[in-house]
Amino acid sequence: MALAVAQGPRDSAPARTARPSRKVDASGRVTRQAMSVLPDGAARSFASSYVSFLYGRLAAGGVAPIDLGLRHQLLAARSTATPAELARALVVRDLTVGPGTKGTAMASAVVDDGASPPYALSFNLTLSHGRWLVTSVQRGDR
């Protein structure tokens, strides 16, 4: 029962959420400049935990990072995985994250459970209080 997130060609350095950098303004005062926080890490975490939830390997409370509305939807949902599905290796392939409007991003991936044809998984992320949270999910039939 392993879950793998296949990674494509990209920088292997983890996305960091760091303190804002120091910036000196024209008057010589030190101000704070917000650093760019990338949604890639949140997208990877969500994709792997959500697929584990879909296949009955993780409770809804373990799916992260998600907003409160999506959390309530998942808590009300039930997994319909069969014993055969529970035994298969799950792979999230081709995870891509693209920018949306300001403070939003869109991600898509392909889920391969080793038996049925791979299916699409798409989700939206929103930057909230310095953290990326998944707000909605659209997935193909499995």
Per-residue confidence (pLDDT) for residue 22, from 0 to 100? 54
Report d(CA 109, CA 47) in Å as an integer. 8
Arithmetic mean of pLDDT over the chain = 80
Q: Decide if 2 is inside a domain.
A: no
Per-residue confidence (pLDDT) for residue 17, from 0 to 100? 45
Report d(CA 89, CA 6) in Å as an integer. 12
In total, how many domains does the chain have? 1
Q: Decide if 7 is inside a domain.
A: no
Q: Decide if 109 is inside a domain.
A: yes
Per-residue confidence (pLDDT) for residue 28, from 0 to 100? 63
Q: What is the domain range of residue 122?
A: 37-139
Q: Are 109 and 48 in contact, with CB atoms under 8 Å apart?
A: no
Q: Decide if 18 is inside a domain.
A: no
Q: Decide if 24 is inside a domain.
A: no
Give the CATH number, domain containing residue 62: 3.10.450
Report d(CA 30, CA 41) in Å as an integer. 30
The one-letter code for the residue type at 50 is Y
What pLDDT digit, counting tens, does each position of 55-113 carry?
889 999 999 999 999 999 999 987 777 888 888 899 999 999 999 889 999 999 999 98
Per-residue confidence (pLDDT) for residue 65, from 0 to 100? 97
